[in-house]
Amino acid sequence: MRVALFITCVNDTLFPGTGKAVVSLLRRLGCDVDFPVAQTCCGQMHVNTGYREEGVRLARHFTEVFAGYDAVVAPSGSCAAMVREQYPKLARPGSRGAAAIAEVAPRVYELSEFLIDVLKVEDVGAYFPHRVTYHPTCHSLRGLHLGDRPARLLRNVRGLELVPLPGAEECCGFGGTFAVKNPAVSAAMGADKTRAIMDTGAEVLCAADNSCLMHIGGTLRRQQTGVRTMHLAEILASTEEAQ
């Protein structure tokens, strides 16, 4: 299957390891992966901060870049939710933009959706002998309704012990520009989240969104907790040989 990767601007710029993990994981599962180099950003930051015009421009760019692919895979629940849930609201009904969005949006998948719903695999042949807890992230949970897909994938990872995270469904306080516009509340939410993570005794916090992990991980490091953050793709890409 020919798959286009939408790596997302945050991953591309700050977390290239996640992109590389997606490439190796999907190739291991027999996919022919392509990275359309003209891709940039889904426009979520602009739209959600009130810069609709710039956001619409980026959305148009996205639909042009990814037109014609069978499947577009993004290692981000948040960016996938932006395309699938918010894009249709950005274009005038009946317009060319709306048609382009209707064409592309349903074929955009978050990684765990693509693995389970499209490739029909739950055991990706990974090995990761660590105690891991999973934070579902709001847009994965309530935007995409990923449900237990990530947990099903993680439970099939050999050596991995998945421990439940208390209050998992609560927002970590990142929220894009919210973290900078409302720093006091964002930090308080982040602190409560890291306390819950510490209570699990996990070595690794996993999520399907590096932007949330950047906020939680930054808080965990500042507090010198020793807990690592890893994107779901990186754990699923891990193998015995790679350890």
Place of tokens 């994965």: 140
Closest to another protein by CB, 40 vs 123, is 40
User: From the centroid of its chain, how far is CA 188?
Assistant: 23
Rounded CA-CA distance 3/25 in Å is 12
Residues 17 to 36: which contact another protein by CB under 8 A? 17, 19-20, 23, 35
Number of amino acids touching another protein (CB under 8 A) = 67
State phi, psi for 128 to the nearest 5 degrees.
Answer: -155, 90
Q: Which of 46, 107, 135, 231 binds another protein (CB under 8 A)?
A: 46
With CB under 8 A as the contact rule, the residue among 125, 176, 198, 225 that binds another protein is: 176
From candidates 30, 92, 184, 241, binder to another protein by CB under 8 A: 184
> What phi and psi, each to the nearest 5 degrees, are found at residue 93?
-55, 135
Least Cα distance to 85 among 106, 63, 68 occurs for 106
Rounded Cα distance, 234 and 157, in Å? 12
Distance CA 174, CA 188 (A): 11
* Chosen residue from 45, 196, 227, 236 binding another protein by CB under 8 A: 45
Residues forming the site for another protein (CB under 8 A): 7, 9, 11-17, 19-20, 23, 35, 37-41, 43, 45-52, 54, 57-58, 61, 86, 89, 138-139, 141-143, 169-171, 173-191, 214-215, 217-219, 221-222
